[in-house]
């Protein structure tokens, strides 16, 4: 076992992946994640092909959410609750933030149901912290 505390130098370069491995890793991340700035850019440009899903509770959704998002709590995702979602769209899911794995659970459930899915990096916390617009109120 490496004692990282005993060797304060070289931690950044230790175990560095070769460029091809790193490229494959980051290509994969970009295929399953997006960030608030990219999401907002696509929303403001009117680009279609995606649906934003807030996978938090209805109460948290009502208190504030990404404009245009649909509320579908992660625990309620199943074949019945997703039947009306477009099968050809990318579903962008988010929960509270970096300390919450609700978006990961939702993304897994949706992928297992056959949907293409991306997680919003940083969740609603990063969306709000980055000063993107916030909508309030219950789901339609």
Question: Does residue 95 carry a catalytic annotation?
Answer: yes
Cβ proximity of 82 and 113 under 8 Å? yes
| Of 110, 38, 100, residue with least CA distance to 70 | 110
What span, in angstroms and rounded, lies between the C-alpha atoms of 116 and 38? 17
Rounded distance between C-alpha atoms, residue 74 and residue 54, angstroms = 9
Catalytic residue among 55, 93, 95, 110: 95
Bridge partners of residue 55, in order along the sequence: none
Q: Please name which of 119, 106, 96, 51 lies closest in space to residue 76, comparing C-alpha atoms.
A: 106
Show which residues are catalytic. 95
């Amino acid at each position: 076992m490496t004692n990282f505390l005993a060797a304060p130098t070289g931690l950044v370069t230790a175990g560095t992946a070769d460029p091809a491995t790193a490229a494959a890793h980051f290509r994969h991340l970009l295929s399953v994640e997006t960030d608030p700035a990219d999401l907002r850019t696509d929303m403001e440009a009117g680009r279609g092909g995606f649906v934003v899903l807030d996978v938090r509770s209805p109460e948290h959704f009502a208190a504030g959410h990404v404009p245009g998002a649909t509320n579908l709590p992660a625990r309620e995702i199943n074949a019945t609750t997703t039947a009306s979602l477009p099968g050809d769209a990318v579903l962008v899911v988010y929960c509270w933030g970096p300390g919450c794995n609700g978006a990961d659970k939702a993304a897994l459930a949706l992928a297992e149901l056959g949907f293409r899915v991306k997680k919003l990096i940083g969740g609603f916390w990063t969306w709000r912290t980055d000063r993107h617009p916030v909508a309030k109120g219950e789901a339609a």
